[in-house]
Structures are given as C-alpha cells and as structure tokens.
Structure 1
Amino acid sequence: MKEYKVVTWKMGMTKNDIRLEDTLNQYAREGWVVTHISEHSTRIVFERDKNR
C-alpha cells in the first residue's frame, strides 16, 4: 500500500533553489519519492510504501 504527502512550496525572495533542494533531500531521507511537481502551482506530491 502507498501513502502520499502533498507539500505546498512557499516561494521566497532568495535562495529558492537551495531551499527546494534541501526540502527534497529531507523527504528523500525519510523514504519519500517525488511523483509530481506542479509547473504552475506550488505543490509537490510525494509517495512512499506505507509498510516500509
């Protein structure tokens, strides 16, 4: 079974790329995999196995 997490990304004035990379790496360490990044929105969808 899968579980999902939707994260709303808050754009800032500076260091967006660095903050986004740090956020993606943090979730990856927890076992989350990005399944979708909305191009015209600020939402990122992650997926992982529920019984990991």
Structure 2
Amino acid sequence: MKEYKVISWKMGLSKNDERLEEALNQHAMSGWRVIHVSENSARIVFERERNR
C-alpha cells in the first residue's frame, strides 16, 4: 500500500533552487519520491510504500 504527502512550496527572494533541492533530498532520505509538481511549482506530491 502506498501513502502520499503534499507540500506547498513557497518561493523566496533568493536561493530558490538550492532550497528546493535540499527539501527534495530530505524527503528522499525518508523514502519519499516525487510523483508530481504542479505547473506553477506551488505544490509537490510525494509517494512512498507505507509498509517499508
């Protein structure tokens, strides 16, 4: 069974790419993988196996 997480990404004034990369890597270390990024990049959907 899978579980999902949705986060809202808030663009800042600087270092957006670096902050986004860091956030994605943090979620990946917890077993999450990105399955969708909204067109305006405001929401990111993650998925992982529930019983890992």
TM-score norm. by structure 1 comes to 0.96
Q: Distance in 2 between matches of 1:12 and 1:26?
A: 19
User: In the alignment, which residue of structure 2 is the partner of 1:12?
Assistant: 12
Identity level (%): 67
Per the alignment, residue 21 of structure 1 pairs with: 21
For residues 32 and 9 of structure 1, the distance between their equivalents in structure 2, rounded to whole angstroms, comes to 16
Aligned-residue Cα RMSD (Å) equals 0.7
How does 1:1-52 map onto structure 2 within 5 Å? 1-52=1-52
Unmatched 5+ stretches in structure 2: none
* Deviation for aligned residue 1:41: 4.5
Runs of 4+ in 1 over 3 A off after TM superposition: none
> Whole-Å Cα distance in 2 between the matches of residues 14 and 45 of structure 1?
23
Per the TM alignment, residue 39 of structure 1 is displaced from its structure 2 partner at its CA by 1.3
